[in-house]
Amino acid sequence: MKIVLAGNSVRTGLIKSFFENEGFEVLLAGTPKEAKASSDGYPVIIVGSSVIPGFLIDDGYAQRVIAGLEPKAPAVMLLDRETETPSFIWDLVLKRAVGIAAGKRHVYVLARSVRTEFPGLERSYSKARAHGVTFIKYEKVSVVQNDAVSAVMIDDGVMTLEIETPLLVDCAYTEDRSVLEYAEALRLHTYDGGLINADRWFLSPGRTSRRGVYYIDAGLAMSAQLEKILLSIADEIRLMAEMDVGPAAKIDPRKCAFCYTCFRLCPHGALYPDDSAVSMSVRHNYCSGCGICVSACPANAIELTERSEASGKRQTDHSKGTVAFCCENSAAIAARTVLPDNCVNVIPIPCGGSIRASQIAAALREYERVIVAVCNDGACKHFDGNKLASRQVERIREELASINIDPQRIMYIQLSHAMPNVMHNMVDNERNRAL
**Site residues, another protein (CB under 8 A):** 84-87, 113-117, 119, 121-122, 137, 157-158, 192, 198-202, 204-205, 228, 231-232, 235, 242-244, 328-330, 333, 336, 375-379, 413, 415-422, 425-426
Cβ-based nearer residue to another protein, 35 or 203: 203
Nearer to another protein, 330 or 359 (CB): 330
Q: How far is the CB of 135 from another protein (least distance, A)?
A: 11
Q: What is the closest distance, in whole angstroms, from the C-beta atom of residue 422 to another protein in the complex?
A: 5
Q: 87-102 and 121-130 are packed helices; what angle lies between their axes, rounded to 10 degrees?
A: 20
Q: Which is nearer to another protein, 27 or 413 (CB)?
A: 413
Angle between helices 357-366 and 385-402 (to 10 degrees): 50
- Look up residue 64 and give its amino acid: R
Q: With respect to another protein, which residue has the nearer C-beta, 269 or 348?
A: 348
Shortest CB 113 distance to another protein, Å: 4
Q: Within 13 Å and on the Cβ side, how many CA atoms surround 123?
A: 2
Query: Which residues, at least 6 apart from 224, have a Cβ–Cβ distance to it below 8 Å?
Result: 119, 120
Please say which residue, 162 or 377, places its beta carbon nearer to another protein. 377
| Closest-CA residue to 9 (of 137, 194, 182) | 182
User: Nearest Cα to 107, choosing from 76, 141, 140, 144?
Assistant: 76
Strands (DSSP E) found in 166-316: 167-170, 213-217, 249-251, 271-274, 279-282, 302-304
Burial 73-101 (b: 16+ CB within 10 A, else e): ebbbbbbbbeeebbebbbbbbbebbbbbb
Residue 32 or 289 with smaller CB distance to another protein: 289
Shortest Cβ distance from residue 336 to another protein (Å)? 7
Helix (H, G, I), strand (E, B) or coil at 135: strand
CB 423: neighbour CB atoms within 10 A? 27
Asked if 163 and 76 count as a contact pair (C-beta separation under 8 A), the reply is: yes
Question: Nearer Cβ to another protein, position 148 or 239?
Answer: 239
Q: Is-contact 306 247, C-beta < 8 A? A: yes
How far apart are CB 29 and another protein at their closest, in Å?
A: 27
Least spacing, CB of residue 111 vs another protein, in Å: 9
Q: Smallest gap, in angstroms, from Cβ of residue 374 to another protein? A: 12
